[in-house]
Amino acid sequence: MKTRSDWTPARWLRIVLPTVVIVIWFIAGSLGGPTFGKLSGVSSNDQAAFLPASAESTAVQDWQKRFTDSQAVPAIVVIQSGSTIPQSDLASFAAIGAKLGDVPGVQTPESGQTTSVAGPIPSQDGRAVEFIVPVADTNNVKTVVADLRSVLKSELPSGTQGWVTGPAGLTADLVNAFGGIDGILLLVAVGAVFVILLLVYRALLLPVLVLLTSVFALCAAILVVYLFALWGWIKLSGQSQGILSILVIGAATDYSLLLVARYREALEHDESRWTAIVTAWRAAFEPILASGATVILALLCLLFSDLNSNKSLGPIAAIGIVFSLLSALTLLPTLLAVFGRAAFWPFRPKYAGGEHAHDHKHEGTERVAGLEGIRGVWRRVGLLIAHRPRLTWIVSFVVLVACAFGLTQLKANGVEQTALVLTQSDAVDGQKVLAKHFDAGSGAPVVIVAKEADGDAVLAATKKNDGISAATLYAGNVRPTQPGQSAPPPVVKDGRVLIQATLKAQPDSAAAEQVVRDLRRDLPSAGSGVLVGGVTAIALDTNDTAQRDLLRIIPIVLLVILLVLMLLLRSILAPVLLIGSVVLSYAAALGVSALVFDHLFRFPGADASVPLFGFVFLVALGVDYNIFLMTRVREESLRLGTRPGILRGLGMTGSVITSAGVVLAATFAALAVIPILFLVQIAFIVAFGVLLDTVLVRSLLVPAVSYDVGRAIWWPSKLWRAPRQSV
């Protein structure tokens, strides 16, 4: 008669079930893999597309569509000479403008015009000229700008330099910076994880099986996200695309580490690999499912955001976690069952006949209940907590609070668009030259919508603002009037006129945003229903909305996670303490990050969405490790009692949680290979925060507090009233 330890399923089941599971995942991988390179084709990095419908700048955009059918994005071509440009040379510069207008993707001229390009417009100091080139093919801005730069380079007169900048130029350079997101990012992340897994397992085959699990999860997630974006159900951006890849690789690997740890443990007690995988799957199922469900719910809380970019990231990332869960709970168990102990070669776990392999290793050392069979660093940590729990958690708490004081240095109120790309940018260099010779706001005007009857009054009030160098009523796509010429009549649509005002300051600067705030405050006195929009207003509304989202979403995420922990641990006190620990860990990580950004990396600031994204990822993923730890602690407490159960749970999960933290930190750190300020900051915040959470919070603070509180940690469950129950 077969015992539980040598149970083996029927031969047909051992063949059919693994084959079906593996084939299904291979089909998903074969369909999803090729779509990876297509994601960029359905993503958008247009900031305006992510604004809520209620934003004032969104309303202005809607009005602009009524005044013109063109949705062209302006590119500003600036040419600088080493000496004063003679008036007689402007004709040769005009020929350059004509060739720029012939570039495919540039707006075609209207009837009676030879080109849609405005210019050459000479600077007041006579040492530069500028052209305003309307880029109509907004789906291929990168290509059009590259062609403009090619034409400019070939046509530049000797002794001059040229740049393509403005909104189109900056957008093109931003898209170029995202260029490595399809390949380089994934290669770096997978490579880092593979090296870590080799060091953790000291096995050759097992890291490959774990990575296959992660990669197939990513392929399936990408397929679904691509289809949803193609059908218009979600808005995909470059930053969401990068975060999806990193999150799936990291989460799937973390879940896999937990299952593999349980499988290795089961192989020591069960001779049959099939019995071992069933035992491991049953033990790992609840914490993995609870962990994944918590992350999914936390991510879906982003649906409460007003910013469409945040709102879309929620379901995109949640899709990734769903497939991470599915692969870790279906594909990996199948692969482990097929390969058995061979997966761990050359250090295969040996069957110990149902006995704990190390139960008697510490007979000559100090015996502490719960630490039987625990060796190495986790035994020493357990002894520290057992002997000095209060001192341990107080010191940990003080360290985290000290780190959190760095929050006073955090500047997360948005940055200039010229600071978004961290590598050399032709558009950023051109913007500096433009500001040197022209009004920095050339080509990106403030757009004001007013009633026809109030048009002149609003125009006059606009010109009075010290931050505005010029303002005109929109008269259609006509060439700029020369001095002495009368202005053409303004275009009127549905009783409204459009005013275009040129900023003195750079359009994406704090000074320009203040001008927009001032106009929104002052212009209603000149006419009711005035709306102020434009490029600067879009950035301003985006930052303001992101800051409101932070205050709205954080309480929702905390409440959702608290409820999940209460259901999982069947306790009230333990979840409250765990939530407090992850919030403190987040504050500490953000505080240290603020100091590093300001004083080490010298970043100009941070995007307003950085604290929110950091919070969602750190809190949700930090709760992952809480769940891994506390579900094992509860399991052991049922057998041993609360305090021995805490030490046992810490000893049994310490290495796997630490490994999972290092893997997740490495995958998020890989985001730094994309030279975008937002992604580099998220990479550091999450990577450092996960390591801090793993090393200090999960290893010392939470176990020490729990040990100090004792069985009251389980209040009001039965475990609180009954210190020990037999299994």
User: What is the chain's Cα-based Rg?
Assistant: 31
- Which residues have CB under 8 Å from 333's CB, separation 6+? 259, 277, 280, 281
Q: What pLDDT shows up at residue 123? A: 83
Q: What pLDDT shows up at residue 354? A: 52
d(CA 693, CA 698): 6
Side chain identity at 395, as an amino acid letter? V
The token duo for 680 is 């580099």
Q: What pLDDT shows up at residue 392? A: 94
Q: Could you tell me if 588 and 332 are in contact, meaning their C-beta atoms sit under 8 angstroms apart? A: no
Q: What pLDDT shows up at residue 725? A: 43
Q: Could you tell me if 383 and 371 are in contact, meaning their C-beta atoms sit under 8 angstroms apart? A: yes
d(CA 89, CA 26): 65
Q: Could you give the 3-state DSSP secondary structure of residue 132?
A: strand
Q: What pLDDT shows up at residue 12? A: 67
Work out the burial of residue 21: count CB atoms within 10 Å of its CB; fewer than 13 is exposed, 13-18 middle, 19 or more buried.
middle
Largest Cα–Cα distance in the chain? 107
Q: Could you give the 3-state DSSP secondary structure of residue 727?
A: coil
d(CA 628, CA 650): 10
In DSSP notation, 68-83 reads -S--PEEEEEEEEESS
Comparing CA positions, the residue from 574, 660, 612, 627 lying closest to residue 294 is: 627
Q: How far is CA 269 from the centre of its chain?
A: 42
Comparing CA positions, the residue from 238, 252, 142 lying closest to residue 185 is: 238
Give per-10-residue mean pLDDT for the chain (727 aa).
54 78 90 78 64 79 76 84 81 84 83 76 85 82 88 84 86 77 76 86 88 92 89 79 85 90 85 85 89 90 84 89 94 91 82 54 61 83 91 94 91 76 83 81 82 87 88 71 61 86 83 90 88 87 86 90 88 90 92 91 84 85 83 86 89 87 88 84 92 90 91 82 50
DSSP designation for 51: S
Q: Could you tell me if 663 and 250 are in contact, meaning their C-beta atoms sit under 8 angstroms apart? A: yes
d(CA 20, CA 22): 6
* Other CB atoms within 10 Å distance of the CB of residue 205: 15
d(CA 185, CA 245): 8
d(CA 685, CA 469): 41
The token duo for 643 is 């305090």
* Other CB atoms within 10 Å distance of the CB of residue 419: 16
Q: What pLDDT shows up at residue 374? A: 79
Q: What pLDDT shows up at residue 589? A: 93
